[in-house]
Amino acid sequence: MTADRHRYVVATIRAVLVFTGVVVTVGVLYSFSTMPTASSSSAGFVRGLSYLFGSVFFILALAGAGLGIALPSLLGADDALAFDRWQRRCLQGAGGLFVGGFVVGLATGLLTELQFGLLLWLVAIVLAVLVISCVLVWRLFEVFVTALVRLIAAETGE
């Protein structure tokens, strides 16, 4: 596969992951906000179950979007967002949390009880999404500071 074709495939997979993750996340948040309140005659079991499964879908959708952002760093490809070396290392660590959390969660679930393994994997996903979010804020701050320095330099004539 040529380099251009490889870059195109990675960009397409990345776009699909991020777009799908964002759409599902917004859909889950919208369904949470429009969910009717539980009636006084019921104990709210169905509502609680829908919150439980909705939360799992929400976390998995965020994981998909996060994985889409971290994908070029995981594959060692060039990135349009121009992450530096340390940011790429953090994104690779987040990818390790995705995969490692799944493996450890699966092993824990098989050795003990399945829900403990699932909970462990979901915690690893949340940590990975937090790492990716911090890296994105870090990169956005760098872009902001660079633009501010250029603006000040242009105004002072340097």
- Least trusted range by pLDDT, from 64-73, 74-83, 111-120, 134-143: 74-83
Cα 153 to chain centroid, rounded: 36
Domain tally, the chain: 1
Neighbouring CB atoms inside 10 A of 122's CB total 17
Average pLDDT of the residues of the chain: 83
pTM to 2 decimals? 0.71
Helix (H) or strand (E) holding 9: helix 3-33
Report the C-alpha gap between 69 and 131 in whole angstroms.
Answer: 11
* Residue 47, both tokens: 């509502």
Interval 109-131 mean pLDDT: 87
Q: pLDDT for 9-29, tens place per residue?
A: 878 888 888 888 889 888 888
Measured in residues, the chain has a length of: 158
Q: Domain limits at 72?
A: 3-156
